[in-house]
Amino acid sequence: MIVLKLLIYRLIRAMVLLWIVSLMIFTLIRLAPGDPVDYILGANDLAIGDTGTIELQKKQVRKNLGLDVTATQQYLNWIKRLALFDLGNSYRSGKSIVSELADRLPATLYLAGAAFLVQVSIALGFGIIASLNEDRWADHLIRLIGVLFVALPSFLLGLILLEIFAIRYPVYDMIGQVSFKRMWLPALTLGVLTSPPVMRLIRVNLIREYSRQYIVFGRSKGLGKKRLVGIHALGNGLLPILSVFGVNLAGLFSGSVIIESIFVLPGIGRYAVESIFARDYPAITGYVLLITFIVILLNLFVGLSYAFIDPRVRNTGYITK
């Protein structure tokens, strides 16, 4: 019952969020300097002839783009097309943006997913070690390494790694399809660089859990460290940061822009950057909408996951009694 309510509540929230963001994007498109008609005419070299013909052509293009009606009508039309997964065609290639994005999505999904795995496993491993050695040398060392990695620009590390693994000792394959051979280095770079904040969060949460009564009681029963830390403390310690994992995964989707362009991966991030340089507004809009959709989906998922993981939420809708 609670789960159903939560699902409905979260769905409504997601819809509202989607609506607000769509409004924001639509406003931005309208606010953007320059006339899209000029770009289209410029790009397709249609503008031949005297001013009168150009004006006529412009009018025609404006009508084709649906720009000859009121803003509200335009917004409604736009939303209608969005609902049918019609994002329009790219100014550059003239192809459907949905299909272009769909072609590019697998690389980004692979990269973000793999980087997330790397990030979480590093964060978990070192977070647990650091928390168990609170204020001892191992903890300080991990913290110091964390600070060093946080300060390392991803583009610098990416370039260096590429130089080493692709050119000096070619074990990494720069060309080819989305595959492990192509993805392991970028995923590793992205995952390692984004792990320190997560690690510290896990460490702090675990240390807080260690002083809880149920851990003291568990020890008094005779439970060993492995079980206490691995099952009891970790379960309770990770609950409050589930949402952080969601935000992080979303961050990896977009944070991959730099990594994608360094490793020349055919992902949506690089597509967005290329579109910006080409002033391909429909393509940029498509990218932003896709990311929005992913972010909202992740939010929805994280919100619901509390209900599945935490019995208190599942049964009462509250964490406290």
Partner 1 sequence: MTQPVLTIRKLSIEYKVSGKKISAVREASFDLCKGQTTALIGESGSGKTTLGRALLGLLDGAGIISGGSIRFAGKSENYAKADEKLWRKIRGREISLILQDPQLTLNPLMKIFDQMLETMRLFSQVSRRKAWHRALALLETMKLEQPQKVLQSYPFQLSGGMCQRVVIAISLINKPKILIADEPTTALDAEIQSGILEELNSLRKQQNLSLLLITHDIDVAAKAADRVIVMKSGKILEKGSTQKVIHHPDHPYTKSLLDCRPCNCWGCGFDELSISTSRLIPSKAYHESPDDCLLDVDGLSYDYQVKGFVDTRSVSVLNEVSFYIRSGEVVGIIGSSGSGKSTLARCLLGLLRVSKGRILFKQSRISGLKGRAFRSECRLIQPIFQQARGALNPGRSIRNIIREPLDYHGINCKKDRNRRVAHLARQVGLDSEILDRRPSQISTGQCQRVAIARALVIEPELLICDEPTSALDLSIQAQILNLLLSLKSKLGFGMLFISHDLEVVKAICDRILVTRNGRLYEVPSNG
Partner 2 sequence: MKLKTHLPDTVRSPMVVSGFLLLLAIILSISTFQFTSDYDPAIFDAGNRFNPPSVSNPLGTDRYGRDVLSQVLLGGRITLATCSMAMITVMFIGITFGIVAGYSGGIVDRILLSLIDVLLSFPSTVLAIVIAGFFGPSLKNLLIAVTCFWWVRFAQITRGMVLKIIHEPDIEAAVAIGASRFTIIFRELLPRVTGPIIILATMELGKLILTISGLSFLGLGAQPPTPEWGALLSDGRVYLTRAPHLIFAPGIAIFLTVLSLNLLGEGLLSLNKGLKKEEVELL
Q: Residues 120-159 vs partner 1: string with x where CB under 8 A?
A: --------------xx------------------------
For partner 1, give the closer residue by CB, 33 or 311: 311
Instruction: Indicate the residue among 50 and 135 with the shorter CB distance to partner 2.
Output: 135
Rounded to whole angstroms, the Cα distance separating 275 from 273 reads: 5
Using CB under 8 A as the binding rule, whether residue 2 contacts partner 1 is answered as yes
Q: Are 222 and 262 in contact (CB under 8 A)?
A: no
Amino acid identity for residue 222 in this structure: G
How far is residue 259 from each of residues 18, 107, 127, 189, measured CA to CA in Å? 28, 12, 25, 8
11 binds partner 2 (CB under 8 A): no
* 8 Å CB contact between 39 and 279: yes
Q: What is the DSSP string of 221-259?
A: HT--HHHIIIIIIHHHHHGGGHHHHHHHHHHHHHHHHHH
The residue (of 67 and 273) whose beta carbon lies closer to partner 2 is 273
Smaller CB separation from partner 2, 32 or 231: 32
**By CB under 8 A, what part of segment 226-265 binds partner 1?**
227, 232, 235-236, 239
CA–CA separation, 91 vs 97, rounded Å? 10
Could you tell me what percentage of the chain is helix, strand and coil, using 3-state DSSP and rounding each to the nearest 5? Answer: 80, 0, 20
312's contact among partner 1, partner 2, none, with CB below 5 to 8 A by partner kind, is: partner 1
Stretch that binds partner 1, among 49-57, 67-75, 209-217, 284-292 (CB under 8 A): 209-217
Give me 114's structure tokens: 């793999």
> With respect to partner 2, which residue has the nearer C-beta, 90 or 299?
299
Applying CB under 8 A, does 16 fall inside the site for partner 1?
Answer: no
- d(C-alpha 229, C-alpha 219), whole Å: 11
The DSSP result for 255-269, as a single string, is HHHHHHHHTT---HH
Sites of contact with partner 1 (CB under 8 A): 2, 5-6, 9, 134-135, 211-214, 216-225, 227, 232, 235-236, 239, 303, 306-307, 309-313, 315-321
Sites of contact with partner 2 (CB under 8 A): 17, 20-21, 25, 28-29, 31-33, 143, 147-148, 150-156, 159, 163, 167, 197, 200-201, 204-205, 208, 240-241, 244, 247, 250-251, 253-255, 257-258, 261, 272-273, 275-277, 281, 284, 287-288, 291-292, 295-296, 299
